[in-house]
Structure 1
């Protein structure tokens, strides 16, 4: 799917049937905002409690393994699947890989896939300008305005009543039977993401205590950490960082986020060349998502990968 250039305006009529097909309409209700707040607040409280819990109660190696596997499975589901494949069409995938990436990304609990993609395509169309769903420069460039904007870009925008029209920005996914079905099952994948770690932890240790600690670390702490890393790409990476490439916005490269973001924090190159399958193109820039795409390509599951050539990279260098 090509990037979002050329989409029609947000006021395009949308058949009512499309709302149920993509799990969510263009208005966010009070119940949805309450559920969203709960899924933000509870894991965040777990993060605040993580250090004293680890000190006084313990953090077993089972918990570490479960948390790391769940974190990077969901993270790459977002970065490789939701972002580079579904949003920008950086490569083509067979049906099994397409479905697998959609499911893995849904385990991140960042919203139904069709809504996620629609929001991100709109972000690229209006990046750091009026119409961008989550620009930190929304309120101006003074320090108070930027602080307010950082909060908005990080998580405030999630509570905006107005939702991105999915039929306008993601019509290909609305028409895709596999993806529209997965999008409608977001509540199921949310429960799966939350309950799978305690199930594995309990069976692994054969104890209720193992299930409880796996729930704390593998569900709550993992979800909160991944959420805030993802949201930092919207906020921090559009307010600071290095700019070695030409882009029409303020996207920057933030090296210290690279590992946890699976390569997404090389954000300046991404906005300079949105369809590129690799974001970390300079020496020493870790991009695990690009490595995973390469493995998919070698396995024959991915094809027509948009790898950036040296000439293409140089053409986008900042003066």
Structure 2
């Protein structure tokens, strides 16, 4: 990984963390209200769905099809999460599935960087300094590389990331009466704090959901389902289900498995924005379930 990218990645980890500490202090001193939290929630949902619906279930796994303008809109929203350009994100994730928990997996807690706590730290955040963006895009994301619109979105990642900070700041400025304080509060809560929390929820899928949780299906990797992560991850924490059936657009396969992203995709399907949605029948699930030893 080039030194410049390492520095940029380090700043993307450190600055939101510092802002989160500032937010704790600000909240303690009542420098937060319903407007700030609404801006935070709005930006979290938009950029979160950009990752879960766009980057992951649509563009990486093609769990459904959508019009090009929907693909591009979701790719921009996902880029606003500041987790890297869309082509790099997709290539890394497809490589993760190609080598899950084996040599070549960019963020497994079980290989390459020790086990236990050391491996967990690597899978959560360490890989960002060593392996993020290393997957060959022409091999693992050829369909996106050959898409002119996706190439343009990836090329303009830095501008989209800047917009990801300016949009909540401008919202805070307007909704707090056109004040500098409102601008800074929007930037803090809807910008940096939102980025910090969304980053660590996403990274927890790489780390915790390959380290601790429940398993239902007979597959070779270490992926798990982690119920308490389901809501903040918008359904991505049913990660073991996902590894059992990677193309499934719906990851919550049990009656009590909350999958907000799956619900939104179902809604998109009803209004014609999602087609050919891949779902796994109960019979296919049953055929792959673990058998008592």
**Shorter-chain TM-score category?**
over 0.9
Cα distance in 2 for residues equivalent to 1:246 and 1:278: 19
Whether 1:160 aligns to 2:130 is yes
More displaced, 308-317 or 37-46? 308-317
Spell out structure 1 runs of 4+ moving beyond 6 A.
none
* In 1, Cα distance between equivalents of 2:4 and 2:165: 20
Aligned position for 1:52: 25
1:175 maps to which residue? 146
Deviations, residues 88-147 of structure 1 (Å, cap 9, x unaligned): 010011111111111110110000000000000000000000110000012587xxx311
1:129 and 2:129 equivalent?
no
SS at match of 1:78: helix
**Distance in 2, Cα, partners of 1:153 & 1:137:** 9
Once residues 189 and 313 of structure 1 are traced to their aligned partners in structure 2, the CA distance between those partners, rounded to angstroms, is 39
Cα distance in 1 between the residues matched to 2:271 and 2:200: 32
Give matches, 1:6-21, under 5 Å: none
2:61 counterpart residue number: 88
**CA–CA distance in structure 2, aligned partners of residues 149 and 107 of structure 1:** 28
Report the CA distance between 1:269 and its aligned residue.
Answer: 0.5
The two structures have a TM-score, normalised by structure 2, of 0.96
> Does residue 187 of the first structure (1) align with residue 187 of the second (2)?
no
2:70 aligns with one of 90, 97, 105: 97
Q: Is the 8 A contact 1:110 1:116 kept in 2?
A: yes
Pick from 269, 273, 279: which aligns with 2:241?
Answer: 269
After superposition, what is the alpha-carbon deviation per residue over 1:48-69, rounded to whole angstroms, capped at 9, x for unaligned? 2322210114211111111001
Equivalent residues of 2:103, 2:112 under 8 A apart: no
| Aligned position for 2:266 | 294
TM-score with structure 1 length normalisation?
Answer: 0.88
User: 1:259 is matched with which residue: 212, 231, 239?
Assistant: 231
- Taking the aligned partners of 2:84 and 2:113, their CA distance within structure 1 comes to 28
- Please say if residues 139 and 146 of structure 1, whose CA atoms lie closer than 8 Å, have aligned partners that are also in contact: no
Asked if 1 retains the 8 angstrom alpha-carbon contact of 2:64 and 2:275, the reply is yes
Residue ranges of structure 1 left out of the alignment (5+ in a row): 1-27
Matched, 1:151 2:121: yes
The answer as to 2:82 corresponding to 1:109 is: yes
Gaps of 5+ in 2: none
Distance 1:246 1:93 in 2: 31
**Count of matched residue pairs:** 289
Counterpart check, 1:43 vs 2:16: yes
Distance 1:202 1:112 in 2: 28
Mapped pair 1:66 → 2:39 = yes
Query: Does the 8 Å CA contact 1:139/1:148 hold for their aligned counterparts?
Result: no
Which string of whole-angstrom CA distances, capped at 9 and with x for unpartnered residues, describes residues 189-238 of structure 1? 10000111111110111211111111111111100000000000000000
Query: Quick check: 1:91–1:304 contact (8 Å CA) kept in 2?
Result: yes
